Each structure stands twice: as structure tokens, then as C-alpha cells.
Amino acid sequence: MTEAKIAQNATFLTVALALQKALSFFYFILVARFIGVENTGKYSFSLSFVTIFAIFLDFGLTQILIRETARDPKNATKYLSNIIGLKLIGSLIIYFLAIVIINLMGYPEITRQMVYVAGVVMLIDSFALSFYGVLRGLHNLRFESFGVVLNQIIVLFVGLLVLKFNLGLVALVAVYLIGSLFNFFYALSRLIFSFKIIPKISLNRAVIKQILILALPFAMAGIFARIFGSIDMVMLSKLADDRAVGLYSVAYKIIFALQFIPLAFSASLYPAFSGYFVRSPQLLAKTFVRSMNYLMILALPLSVGIITIANKVIGPVFGSSYSESILTLQILSSALFLIFICFPVGAMLNAGNQQSRNTVNLGLVTGVNITLNLIFIPLFSQAGAALASLLSYVLLFILGLAVVEKIAVYDKKYLLLSFLKVLTSSVIMGAVVLALKDYLSFILVIPLGALIYFMTLFIVGGFGKEDILQIRRLAVSR
């Protein structure tokens, strides 16, 4: 896979996810303002609750599809057909388990109904994820890019109708069901008509045994990662209340909306890393360093920028009732930089046959995160959950980077110097934003801060003409 192909795939998915996240963020703003803080808490909890169960259904199978399809496309149909068979059986078990647990936890009827509907969405999304996994393994992210955008447009349009006619919280969750059905059939049609891959339902014992053995480390890593990413809202719901969940979800949504950048990079890099690990250690190290460098350039100013203008954004965007989310947003923004650079680190571990170590790292971090939530939430409510996330990401990055050294010999000095240049430029930008934010609207301060950042970064040599030409050359190559 050439660098040009990596850049094209990353560009397609980055643009698509940027649009999808922008639409999703806009939609969430409308929902949060319309239904209020406590109902936003119920809404966010129901989606987070089923998200935890989704990874048990996928069980790392999509990662296997991507990796094995990238290594040998001839295996795509065989693996996909058996994974469909496995998921059909797993769907009944996982959905039943989710229903039993939500009832045992003693939540009110409205919350349980929302979880029932969200659970169906989870099942449909899991199969669509497998279809897109094959497409990723074939190094084609165009169809997924198109699908995620259309899915979000459907959710936005139908969701606005639900809000307009005040159809209730359950109908608001059911909006995602319509979008998921479209995504399912669209991804399936692309496999069939564009690549002549016709999925079947298969349960070959030998193939399933092989898949499960390969998937187990990915599954455990995925389970830990999903629990780590969603348990905060569930614990807030039990240790605090729906209001705390609503306040936390607003801050979390802003940070989550920005994760399309490393997510798109990772989606393109993982199959490339998998191929380079087998064929070219030099290209593997080179690609890792470049991905880390570019993500640092994007992530650190975002973290600093959000921290400096958080108090000017929450009120005008979400409403004054969400003003208590400001500190939570600032803490989560501090973790944003680490969230970005953890993506290529995780991709390296999985592509370099260190998925077992990655699983151990995620398990340890998940345990630490749960412990920190138990300590901090009773003390600081939603801000405590944010602090637990920040400290957990620090640990995750340290543990992951230590393993990367065993996979590839990369240029540490270059990355350290790049970080210092980016940090210097970000601090200067932050100082200017702090000085201006009380006199100018944040809508004007944001682009001005970005301009100052890139000018400073160019001056200190953190981003030169060669980098601009390289990105332009890779992005437009055919």
C-alpha cells in the first residue's frame, strides 16, 4: 500500500467523519437544548449502556477481517461468512443479556424502553461494521465515507421531525434505527456490486475456531476499550444522577466530535501498518513517526484552544443550564492530546502482533479508570469522571509507547523536538486567545488563534514548506 493510497484513504474518511461529526454535534446541540439537562442524561446513558454490549457482539472480529483481508483478499468471503454466522447467534445472547441487566439495575420504565430500542440499533450496526471491515481490508474507505455521512444526514432529518412533533425520548433513540438500517444495506450492496463479495451464513467449525483464536486478544482489548470509553456515564448515572450525566455528556460530546481526525488516520494506517510489518520495517517506522507528528500538530492546539475558550462556548452553544460543564470540558480537553496520539500507538501494537500486550494494557487502564471513577465521582461528580479519564489516558499512552519500541526502531529525538515546537506554538496561541476572548466573539477568536498557531509553528520550524508540499502531493495523488 503506497503512501499516496494511505493519504487518499485518510483524506476520504477524514472529510467524511468531519462532516458526520459536525452534523452529529449540531444535532446533539439541538437535542440537549430541547429536552433539558436531565433528559439529556437519560438519552446519553441509554446509548452509552448498549455501547458496552456492542463490543461483546463484535468480539474483535472486525479487526480480524481488516487484517486478514489486507494480508490476503482471497480470504475475505470465507471469514465474513463465518463471522456473520457467529454474530447471528451472538445477537440473541447479547441482546437478551442487555435487557436482563438493565431491568436488574432498577432503572425507570422510560430508560429501559430507550435501552431496548438502542439495543436493536447495536445489533444492526455490528453487521454493518463487519461489511465495512472487509472494505477497509481492501483499502477502500470511499464507500464507508459516503455511508457514514448519509447515515448522519438521515438521523439529523428524522431527528428534527421527532423534536418538532415532540414524540418523546424513545422515538428520539429510534431515530438511530432508521439510519442504521440504511447503513447496513448500503455497506452490503457495495460489497456485492463493487467487489463481487456475496456474504453467506456459514458455521465452519475449523474456520470459526481459527477466527476465535485470532480474535481473542482483539476482543479482550475491544471489551476493555469500550468499557473504558463508556463506563463513566454509567457510573455517573449510579453514583450521581441524570443531571450529572447530562452535564458530562455535553463536554464529552465536544471532545468526541473531534476524534474523527485520529480515527480516520487509524482506519487508514492499521492495514498499512499490518502490511509494512511483514514487508518493510523501515517504512513501518517512518509511517509511525509521520502519523504521530501530524497528529501532535493538530491535537495540542485543539487542547489548549478549548481550555482557553471553554467558558465562552458552553453557554452560547448549549444554553446557560449547562454552565456547570465548563470545568469538565477543560479537564477532558487536557486529555484530547493523549487521545489523538494513542490511536497510532494502538494501531502499531495490533498490527505488530502485540495485540496481547495491548489487551493487557487496556485491561490495566480500565481497572484504574473504574477505581478512579469510584473515588472521584462521589467527590467531584462529572468533573471527577473527567479527571479519571485524563489520568487513565496518561497511563495508556505510557504503557503503549513502551511496547512500540519492540516493534519498530523509530526516531524518538525527532518526535521530542517536534513536540517541543508544537507545545511552544500552542502556548503562544493560548496566551493570545486568553487576551482576546473577552473582547471578541469566540467565533472570531478560533480562526485567529489557528492562524497565530500555524504562523508560529512555521517560524519555529515545526511545520515547513516541505511538509505542506508532501501533504499536498499525497492528498492529490492518483
> Could you read off the pLDDT of 255-264 as tens digits, one per residue?
988 887 787 6
Of all residues in the chain, what percent are helix, strand and coil, respectively (each to 5)? 90, 0, 10
H helices of 319-381, where? 326-351, 355-380
pLDDT for 374: 96
DSSP 73: G
Residue 476 confidence class, pLDDT cut points 50, 70, 90:
very low
- Taking residue 448's Cβ as centre, other Cβ atoms within 10 Å add up to 14
DSSP 146: H
How far is residue 137's CA from residue 435's CA, in Å, rounded to a whole number? 48
pLDDT for 465: 65
pLDDT for 277: 80
pLDDT in tens, 164-193: 999 999 999 999 999 999 999 999 999 999
The grid cell for 338 is: 493523549
CB 250 within 8 A of CB 306: no
399 pLDDT more than 50: yes
pLDDT for 259: 81
Residue 46 confidence class, pLDDT cut points 50, 70, 90:
very high
pLDDT for 59: 84
Of 96-110, 197-211, 381-395, the range with the lowest mean pLDDT is 197-211
CB 119 within 8 A of CB 95: yes
Phi-psi sector, 196: left (phi>0), alpha (psi -120 to 50), beta: left
List, as own/partner pairs, every contact residues 452-455 make where C-beta atoms lie below 8 angstroms and the sequence separation is at least 24, other chains included.
Answer: 452/428, 453/301, 453/425, 453/426, 453/428, 453/429, 454/425
- Helix (H) / strand (E) containing 145: helix 142-164
5 pLDDT more than 60: no
How far is residue 355's CA from residue 337's CA, in Å, rounded to a whole number? 23
Q: What are phi and psi of 250, to 5 degrees?
A: -65, -50
Using N-to-C axis directions, what is the helix angle for 142-164 and 169-195, rounded to 10°? 160
As a whole number of Å, the CA-based R_g of the chain is 22
- Nearest to 19, CA basis, from 383, 264, 238, 302: 264
pLDDT for 188: 94
Residue 475 confidence class, pLDDT cut points 50, 70, 90:
very low
Burial 69-87, CB ≥16 within 10 A → b, else e: bbeeeeebbbbbbbbbbbb
- Helix (H) / strand (E) containing 85: helix 76-104
- Taking residue 166's Cβ as centre, other Cβ atoms within 10 Å add up to 9
- Nearest to 64, CA basis, from 209, 167, 254, 180: 209
Mean pLDDT score, 25-30: 92
How far is residue 291's CA from residue 266's CA, in Å, rounded to a whole number? 9
How far is residue 377's CA from residue 386's CA, in Å, rounded to a whole number? 9
Q: Can you give the residue ranges of every domain in the chain? A: 3-410
Q: Cα 380 to the chain's mean position, in Å? A: 26
What does the mean pLDDT of the chain come to? 87
Mean pLDDT score, 404-429: 91
pLDDT for 7: 56
Of 15-19, 151-155, 424-428, the range with the lowest mean pLDDT is 15-19
pLDDT for 467: 65
pLDDT for 478: 35
The grid cell for 15 is: 472529510
4 pLDDT more than 70: no
334 pLDDT more than 90: yes
pLDDT for 470: 58
How far is residue 336's CA from residue 276's CA, in Å, rounded to a whole number? 28
Of 141-155, 171-185, 209-223, 394-408, the range with the lowest mean pLDDT is 209-223
- Helix (H) / strand (E) containing 303: helix 281-318
Mean pLDDT score, 20-33: 91
- Nearest to 467, CA basis, from 296, 303, 338: 296
pLDDT for 469: 61
pLDDT in tens, 446-469: 899 999 999 999 898 877 666 666
The grid cell for 157 is: 432529518
pLDDT in tens, 278-310: 788 888 888 888 889 989 999 999 999 999 999
pLDDT for 393: 95
Query: Hey, what amino acid is at 147?
Result: G
CB 292 within 8 A of CB 341: yes
CA distances from 36 to 43, 194, 245, 255, 322 (A): 10, 45, 12, 20, 9
98 pLDDT more than 90: yes
- By percentage, how much of the chain surpasses pLDDT 70? 93
DSSP 460: T
pLDDT in tens, 59-91: 888 888 888 888 788 888 888 999 999 999 999
How far is residue 290's CA from residue 412's CA, in Å, rounded to a whole number? 12
User: Scanning the structure block, which residue is given the C-alpha cell 448519509?
Assistant: 150
The H helix count followed by the E strand count for the chain is: 16, 0
Burial 254-281, CB ≥16 within 10 A → b, else e: bbbbbbbbbbbbbbbbbbbbbbbbeeee
